[in-house]
């Protein structure tokens, strides 16, 4: 069934390419310096940045790619992904979770995994991938987002808030960039899920730590 689906997508894509409905452009350049190679009049409805935010602060990505979004489309979206945010910033918490899986993970969580997977082998394993989707990392991810926004090289959020004791909310921070992020905690993402559930699709190689945030343009009525 999965093979049939992939073949169907490939055949449909081939047909669209032959009709000129899809165009590819490969630019061998620094991703932060590619605007001169793009048609100046061309704006985009969707911009996917893969996991560049693992290497470039999100604030810098927003400043670089926001001008490429189509202003007339209120649903134009810029997507940022991160794969290494836990390993790079919260490694001690990840190690603590691994220890909990091995020695003190409760039967309640294992029963949840069993209900989702229908597999006792997965539910009672000591592999963190089997259980990590039940581990809440909301506060840690919000901290990561704020830090990445404040780390912007230009005089935006970092210069405005670096001496304040109380850090503003993510909503207030991103307004400085003229965007807003869809509420990932309420599953408002429409292009890519905030996090992929693992136990409903065990054929994949996901590790449970990938996160995606969707950023939309902040229009005048929303900026006040």
pLDDT 10s digits, 48-76 = 999 999 999 999 999 999 999 999 999 99
150 within domain boundaries: yes
Number of domains into which the chain is organized? 1
Is the pLDDT assigned to residue 162 strictly greater than 70?
A: no
Pairwise CA distance, residues 191 & 78, whole Å: 10
2 within domain boundaries: no
216 within domain boundaries: yes
70 within domain boundaries: yes
209 within domain boundaries: yes
Question: Which band of pLDDT confidence, cut at 50, 70 and 90, is reported for residue 161?
Answer: low
Q: What is the domain range of residue 159?
A: 42-90+137-223
47 within domain boundaries: yes
Pairwise CA distance, residues 154 & 197, whole Å: 36
203 within domain boundaries: yes
User: Which range, 20-29, 65-74, 201-210, is most confident?
Assistant: 65-74
Q: Which residue has the higher pLDDT, 88 or 108?
A: 88
């Amino acid at each position: 069934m999965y093979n049939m689906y992939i073949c169907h997508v490939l055949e449909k894509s081939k047909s669209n390419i032959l009709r000129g409905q899809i165009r590819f452009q490969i630019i061998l350049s620094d991703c932060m310096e590619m605007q001169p190679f793009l048609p100046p009049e061309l704006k985009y409805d969707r911009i996917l940045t893969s996991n560049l935010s693992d290497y470039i602060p999100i604030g810098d990505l927003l400043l670089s790619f926001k001008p490429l979004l189509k202003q007339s489309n209120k649903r134009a979206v810029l997507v940022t992904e991160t794969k290494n945010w836990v390993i790079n910033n919260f490694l001690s918490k990840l190690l603590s979770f691994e220890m909990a899986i091995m020695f003190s993970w409760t039967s309640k969580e294992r029963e949840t995994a069993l209900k989702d997977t229908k597999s006792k082998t997965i539910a009672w394993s000591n592999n963190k991938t089997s259980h990590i989707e039940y581990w809440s990392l909301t506060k840690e991810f919000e901290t990561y987002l704020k830090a990445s926004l404040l780390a912007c090289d230009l005089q935006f959020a970092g210069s405005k808030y670096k001496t304040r004791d109380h850090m503003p909310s993510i909503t207030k921070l991103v307004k400085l960039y003229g965007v807003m992020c869809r509420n990932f905690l309420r599953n408002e993402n429409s292009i890519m899920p905030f996090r992929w559930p693992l136990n409903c699709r065990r054929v994949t190689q996901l590790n449970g730590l990938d996160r995606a945030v969707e950023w939309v343009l902040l229009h005048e009525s929303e900026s006040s």
